[in-house]
Chain A
Amino acid sequence: MEIAVLISIIVSIAVSATPLLLAATGELVVERSGVLNLGVEGMMIMGAVAGFSVAQATGNPHWGAFGAVIVGALFSQLFAFLVLTLVTNQVATGLALTILGLGLSGMIGEGFVGQPGIKLENFNIPILSDLPVIGPLLFSLDAIFYASIALVLAVWWFLFRTKTGLMVRGVGDSHSSAHALGIPVIRVRYLAIAFGGACAGLAGAHLSLVQVPQWTEGMTSGRGWIALALVVFASWRPGRVLIGAYLFGAVTIAQFHAQASGVPIPPQFLASLPYLATIIVLVLIARNRRLTMMNTPAALGQPFVPDR
């Protein structure tokens, strides 16, 4: 009985951590290539509305998740075109992407408000899911959860164990040197941004297909921004993104449990906890200058115009 409760708590933490993990992992690759995309929140909400609507249209939530990936990647290319080809300010352009995403998703999703969604059912991995304790804990969750874990591992392997990954990091540390070596800086960054958009889109789909299978305007409620903070928290390391996302998932779930158990604290204060925790974490990380200096992609946020 005790164990069953514990398992359900850990599973709920995984559910609330998955979108953060996906979006942050995608953004990590983008930032490793030297681009700061503040549009995560916008790409995520576009993914959420796309996931919901495609699932409604096809009756299949897996197609919904797929649609969210495509829409997220396409939507990110708007940002990519501006900051890479037109060399606009990355901070302002990222904000524009978020504002546009929130508006566009609200318009697309207007007819979906109040409609029951289609839940992406949990997928029981044969045999493994029958194992005691770790079966329900690890092997009978939704497909997007498995994808998120696989993605972190894949990104770690790609960035730190492959030649192409080294190329991406090289572009992010010094685009001029990378360019001089013949690496197609702009193309690498276009692809990195598309990857980040796809991940953010899938993260949004997790919200509208798994967490709360319905559409509400602004349902990402700042998760895209928390994902951005997670990348800083993780000092641009995939493994630490995983830890950070689950810590934040735990804070969110702790807050829900505290609300449900009638702790004499106004619910609004408990709801502020994840945001407060983000600020505290950002302060703690920023104080450790050596850690940040060592890992920050050196060309992060800097414009690049290739010479002839």
Chain B
Amino acid sequence: MKLVLEKRVTSSTLLALTSPFIALALTLVAGAIMFAMLGKPPIASLITYFVDPLTDPWSREQIIVKATPLILIAVGLSVCFRSGNWNIGAEGQYLMGGLFGAMLPVMLHGWTSPLLLPLAIIFGMAGGALYAFIPAVLKARFGTNEILSSLMLVYIAQQVVDWVVRGPWRNPQGMGFPGTKTFTDNAILPPLWANADAHYGTVFAIIAAIVVWFALARTLKGFEITVLGQSPKAGRFAGFSAAKMTIFAFLVSGALAGLAGISEVSGSVEKLDDKLSLGYGFSAIIVAFLGRLNPLGIIAAGLILALSFIGGENAQIMMGVSDRAARVFQGLLLFFVLACDTLIHYRIKWVAQPRSVSKQSHRPHTPSTSSSDQQKEGSITAMGRGSGMSMN
């Protein structure tokens, strides 16, 4: 028995729509197995995880609070990933958004102008965008690998925030705890309703998702993003600049991550402290893929991931399951999402007999041709460069 992939003539629309749901279902099955292995009742655990939070108004609100930064960041990432730019450092841009956004509320503490909040938000977005600009310009100018550079910047951002909240910006009345002074009321993002934890960041997230969805689906810029992402060569022929796109995509993504950062600081924590980095920037990568890089899908995906966080806390309190289980779920979910995406383009077949290692199949008379055009293009360039190497 052997697994063999067969290219579909046209990719399956049905599966493109259902594959995230198949992935979710498979994750639940894997989760049930995991709980059984931990010695917990599988079905009851899954209910505690994924159903109970939905029945309780407080948990429902917490889901919205958690989903807000995830959606904001993931919407930005969808622009990056679609254009073929691997921004893995959204966590750093989120932190820098929080830091830059906190700058005015902390340094001008007591300034009563109503301009303080809008300025803080603009500063936050600028901070995230500026931090994303670093890997972008390094990639566009020098061809530096953006995956690694953007990721390294996360570790640096964590250290910078840590320094700021323990050093120059530490609240002198804070009993020695790291963190700035609590913001004054005019720097705090208002709650969605009286005494709510949910704040206007959620509104930003929904607006961002709709705007980016429209831009991707209906504008020339959106078309440019898709073309350059799917085939840089075709993009070049169309007169699009890959370097400019890299800068653009990173700036958009950084600004949205920065907005997520300042929204969290100003709307939830109401000060900058050392607990801002909770891994939202990494979870947002899963959200982006689960939403199939579609901003509207990302809203739903963000809510699902947030549900898994809240469910994780629930399960820890109710059943003593480690809250790390939520992270395991998220990792598994990304695996299943990626695996199910394969179904859209390929048919998976079990071949009863493994392909025999006959001499014929090994020495074909005609050069081997791959089953897809994309593959062919790839292998030709590969061979071209390969032969160049052998001359050296």
Using a CB–CB cutoff of 8 Å, the interface residues on chain A facing chain B are 38, 78, 82, 85-89, 91-93, 95-97, 99-104, 106-107, 110, 173-177, 179-182, 221-222, 225-226, 228-229, 232, 266, 268-269, 271-272, 275-276, 278-279, 282-283, 286-287, 289, 292-294, 298-299, 302-305, 307-308
Top 9 closest pairs, chain A to chain B, by CB: A100-B331, A103-B327, A182-B362, A176-B379, A268-B163, A180-B368, A96-B334, A107-B324, A106-B324
* B167 adjacent to chain A (CB < 8 Å): yes
Output the least CB separation between A76 and chain B (Å): 13
In the complex, A88 Cα to B337 Cα: how many Å?
10
In the complex, A180 Cα to B367 Cα: how many Å?
7
Interface centre among A82, A100, A287, A304 (most CB of B within 10 A): A100
In the complex, A200 Cα to B366 Cα: how many Å?
41
In the complex, A88 Cα to B330 Cα: how many Å?
17
Contact of B335 among A82, A85, A232 (CB under 8 A): A82
In the complex, A106 Cα to B372 Cα: how many Å?
41
B322 touches A305 (CB 8 A): no
Q: A176-B379, A180-B364 are in contact. Are A275 and B152 (CB under 8 A)?
A: yes
Contact of A293 among B3, B329, B385 (CB under 8 A): B385
In the complex, A8 Cα to B118 Cα: how many Å?
55
Q: What 1/0 mask marks residues of chain B from 332 to 349 whose CB sits below 8 Å from any chain A CB?
A: 101100110110001010
Could you list some 20 contacts between A and B, CB below 8 A? A82-B335, A95-B334, A96-B335, A104-B324, A107-B324, A175-B379, A176-B375, A177-B383, A179-B368, A225-B151, A225-B152, A226-B152, A268-B166, A272-B155, A282-B145, A289-B143, A294-B389, A305-B370, A305-B375, A308-B355
The number of chain B residues with a CB under 8 A from chain A is 67
* Chain B, range 348-392, C-beta contacts under 8 Å to A: 348, 355, 361-364, 367-372, 375, 378-379, 381-383, 385-386, 389, 392
A95 touches B152 (CB 8 A): no
The residues of A that contact B329 with a CB separation of less than 8 Å are 103
The residues of B that contact A272 with a CB separation of less than 8 Å are 155-156, 159-160
A103 touches B379 (CB 8 A): no
Who on chain B is nearest to A302 by CB?
Answer: B378
A100 touches B145 (CB 8 A): no
B342 touches A88 (CB 8 A): yes
The residues of A that contact B230 with a CB separation of less than 8 Å are none
Which of the segments B219-227, B248-256, B282-290 contacts the partner chain?
B282-290
The SS class assigned to the B binding surface is: helix
The residues of A that contact B286 with a CB separation of less than 8 Å are 96, 99
Output the least CB separation between A38 and chain B (Å): 7
Q: A88-B341, A222-B152 are in contact. Are A283 and B144 (CB under 8 A)?
A: yes
* B325 adjacent to chain A (CB < 8 Å): yes
The residues of B that contact A110 with a CB separation of less than 8 Å are 322, 324
Output the least CB separation between B182 and chain A (Å): 23
Output the least CB separation between A22 and chain B (Å): 19
B339 touches A88 (CB 8 A): yes
* Chain B, range 136-162, C-beta contacts under 8 Å to A: 138, 142-145, 147-149, 151-153, 155-156, 159-160, 162
Output the least CB separation between B363 and chain A (Å): 7
The residues of B that contact A182 with a CB separation of less than 8 Å are 361-363
* B88 adjacent to chain A (CB < 8 Å): yes
The residues of A that contact B382 with a CB separation of less than 8 Å are 173-176, 298-299, 302
A232 touches B145 (CB 8 A): yes
A103 touches B324 (CB 8 A): yes
The residues of B that contact A303 with a CB separation of less than 8 Å are 375, 378
B7 touches A305 (CB 8 A): yes
A286 touches B156 (CB 8 A): no
B383 touches A286 (CB 8 A): no
Q: What 1/0 mask marks residues of chain B from 185 to 207 whose CB sits below 8 Å from any chain A CB?
A: 00000000000000000000000
Contact of B144 among A221, A268, A282, A307 (CB under 8 A): A282
The residues of B that contact A107 with a CB separation of less than 8 Å are 322, 324-325, 327-328
Contact of B328 among A104, A177, A283, A299 (CB under 8 A): A104
A92 touches B289 (CB 8 A): yes
What would 9 more interface pairs be, CB under 8 Å, given A177-B383, A278-B148? A103-B327, A107-B328, A174-B386, A176-B368, A177-B379, A225-B152, A268-B159, A294-B392, A307-B369
